[in-house]
Amino acid sequence: MEKARLRKLGLTNLKWLYEHPLLKKQKEQAISQALFNDPYWKKAKTIAITKPLDFEFDTHILLDKGLLEEKQVLMPITGSDRQLTFHSVTSETKFEKTAFGVAEPVAAPVVAAEKIDLLVVPGIVFTHEGFRIGFGGGFYDRFLQNYHGETCSLVFSEQIQENWQPESFDLPVKRLFIS
């Protein structure tokens, strides 16, 4: 199946889950607990996450837990050059919606990519091997080419699709946390 069709199917599945908030919350809690108990999280001093759209995995629990544990929490800003930069955020950080509808931090200090211990990579569709299909902008694909830290994704079982072939430039995340 081609990526555009898989992306559409993945979005349909995510929106279905969003319409079942109790189930979505239960899955988020199970996935979060698995992550928080994992060495990836425990060892990381600096984590990078995204601010989610309503139907995506709610990463606010990661933000809260990270700040509580005195980790440095970063969120991306998409540049006009289609590159991501990551910026340090706190509970006081202001956010602004982009043309894509994604909230990005405003006036937050940039942090070098090599300082990121754990990058939580978003996506719409995943294989069990960690290959992913995102929204189609290629931002994370480009970033992952030169990133050498730990990567993981927080995945609802509804996002798993095995019937596609990753392309040569697709790089898998190292670990999936699935419920």
DSSP 177: E
107 marked among binding-site residues = no
CB 154 within 8 A of CB 126: no
DSSP 169: T
97 marked among binding-site residues = no
95 marked among binding-site residues = no
* Residue owning tokens 């189609």: 136
6 marked among binding-site residues = yes
* Residue owning tokens 């070098």: 112
112 marked among binding-site residues = no
Sequence length of the chain is 179
138 marked among binding-site residues = yes
135 marked among binding-site residues = yes
82 marked among binding-site residues = no
134 marked among binding-site residues = yes
Q: Annotated binding site for ATP: which residue ranges?
A: 3-7, 132-140
What residues are designated binding site?
Answer: 3-7, 56, 132-140
| Residue numbers belonging to the annotated binding site for substrate | 56
